[in-house]
Amino acid sequence: MSPDLVRGAYRGAARSWADDASLAYIPLARHLVAQLGGRLPGPRALDAGAGTGAAGDVLRELGAGVVSVDLEPDMLRHRLGARGHTVVGDVARLPLRSHYFDVAVAGFVLNHVADHVAALLELGRVTRPGGVVLAWCSPTSVPS
């Protein structure tokens, strides 16, 4: 899906996304972040494709300082502004320093990017050597 289509699909949807979709996404974010075994590999975390912040909230509960990135500014503004740093950006071309984050989480974004490999490589680029990348993608969105 093109970045413009993704932006358009989520523009103006932040309130309903946070109120309704979070009922599913918060437990899924907890499950994904639980793969860390309850311990962060360091204090700097990236919530890539953050939306309204389900994965970032779970990372903050563990003590992380979170930078949230999303294509749609409305999604970031809805709840995240008061809870950390936000950056408008594309997960396949992150406007972030290389090797900075201890953990990068892409909980709910890979099904929205055209090139999964490029997005995963980009997550790896911004994660320090020895850091952790956690990503989830719906099986129906993975190309065969």
Q: What is the CATH number of the domain that holds 59?
A: 3.40.50.150
Return the pLDDT at 144.
43
Return the pLDDT at 7.
54
Return the pLDDT at 25.
76
Return the pLDDT at 58.
93
- pLDDT (tens, 9 = 90+) of the chain, 144 residues, equals 666 665 555 555 555 555 555 667 788 899 999 999 999 999 999 999 998 888 999 999 999 999 999 998 888 877 655 567 899 999 999 999 999 999 999 998 998 898 989 999 999 999 999 999 999 886 655 444
> How far apart are alpha carbons 78 and 119 in whole angstroms?
24
DSSP-derived pairing of the beta strands 65-70 and 44-48: parallel
Q: Give the domain range for residue 27.
A: 3-35+43-141
Report pTM.
0.81
Domain count within the chain = 1
